[in-house]
Amino acid sequence: MKIAFVDTTGLNYNPLTPFQSPLGGTQSAACFLSIAMAERGNEVWLLGKEGEGEIISGVRCKRYNTENPATQLNAFDVVIILTVPIAKQLREKGVSTRLILWQHYAVDNSDSLPLIDNDEKEAWSEVVFVSEYQRKTFSEKFDLDGKVLRNAMSPAMADRKRILPNFVARNEDPVLVYASAPGRGLDILLIAFPSIRKKFPGARLKIFSSQLMYQVQKENDGFESYYELARSMPGVEYLGGVSQDRLADELLRCDIWAYPTIFLETSCIVLMEAAAAGCFLFFSEMGALPETGGKFGRRMRPTSSRSVWCGQFAHGLCSEVDRLRQNPERTEKFLEDQASWFRKTYTWDRRAEEWELWLTKTVMMS
């Protein structure tokens, strides 16, 4: 099958980028899936900001032709557009091949608004969502249905194993980790952390976060005050944005993935990675996070007051630490089962097989 992944966001990357430098979840997912699809024998192209046709990790990379997309896209059996609803304008420019919207945004994202237009919806051959939560909310708001094909953890995690025992086995206070965009709850965690450290003086917090994942340079990063606060706090280590290889190594040395977000996540790849690394999951009951976490971890519903939520998150996390310490053998078994399940369930090899089976059926039906 000849498949094109198209990214119109203007970010500059290739399939190897997430293994080498920070990159957002949607773009990382496109890199991981395109590589996995190419390994299954498909002819896979990544069309974006840059590229002259070179092959990287089995994927051919080329600049997306914005002026005359039909000439480029009609050569493919299937064209998968990342997140941005542009099918109507592509059809008007003569694109006739199958167009699939691979939607990663939440329903309240302003970039999703074109989907309120019936002509835009009808211009798509298929829509793929990354969670049942996301499909349900798009159906309710836009009367738009589609197929759910989930994301998966970074391949960088698959070949790495945890060598550091969990904090209960070490008889130490836990190492917390935050690894997401800074605007998704970093401020809440920083405010909550002193209360956590008051209860557990040896607790530490590692932060892997910056706008570099969206290729926003330091001088334009509006969250610099968060980073300065983090650098000044006892027990906090601010490490900025990092590659998937570096993040995988770091997660394997942490104990609790702490995520007090009030952002509507539609999937959350880093939750999968933290779980596979053997971190206990403690997070907000927001969007698709409960669906992604499944039976593992503990979650709390945020309050409408940010100040109250900071205190409640800290109190809840401390209670979980106490609970985990009550039965070290049960805790170890729970985390081992969690890591095993996520490593088996959330892989891009498995996703590529699911995509290929589904795409084969949709192309044959066209």
Instruction: Judge whether 101 and 124 are in contact, CB under 8 Å.
Output: yes
Closest by CA to 239, choosing from 205, 283, 262, is: 205
366: pLDDT confidence band, cut at 50, 70 and 90?
low
- Three-state helix/strand/coil letters over 81-142: EECCCCHHHHHHCCCCCEEEEECCCCCCCHHHHHHHCHHHHHHCCEEEECCHHHHHHHHHHH
Q: Determine the distance from the C-alpha atom of residue 207 to the mean position of all C-alpha atoms in its chain, rounded to a whole number.
A: 16
Q: 2-152+347-365: which CATH topology?
A: Rossmann fold (3.40.50)
Identify the architecture of domain 155-345 in CATH: 3-Layer(aba) Sandwich (3.40)
Query: If you average pLDDT over residues 222-237, what whole number do you get?
Result: 97
Per domain, the residue ranges of the chain are: 2-152+347-365, 155-345
d(CA 339, CA 132): 23
pLDDT, one tens digit per residue, over 127-137 is: 999 999 999 99
Answer for the pair 288, 263: CB distance below 8 angstroms, yes or no: no
Mean pLDDT for 192-207 is 98
Output the pLDDT for position 364. 64
pTM of the shown model: 0.95
Provide mean pLDDT across the span 83-106. Answer: 97
Residue 150, Cβ neighbours under 10 Å: how many? Answer: 21
CA distance 241 to 362: 38
Partner residues linked to 107 by β-bridges: none
What is the residue-averaged pLDDT of the chain? 96
Q: What is the arithmetic mean of pLDDT over 63-70?
A: 95
- 2-152+347-365 and 155-345: identical CATH topology: yes
Q: Which residues pair with 62 in a beta bridge?
A: 47, 52
Dihedral (Cα; 154, 31, 132, 259), 10-degree rounding:
40
At residue 163, the pLDDT reads 82
Q: 96: burial class by Cβ within 10 Å (0-12, 13-18, 19+)?
A: exposed
Encode pLDDT of 299-324 as tens digits: 999 998 999 999 999 999 999 999 99
Q: What does the pLDDT read at residue 362? A: 81
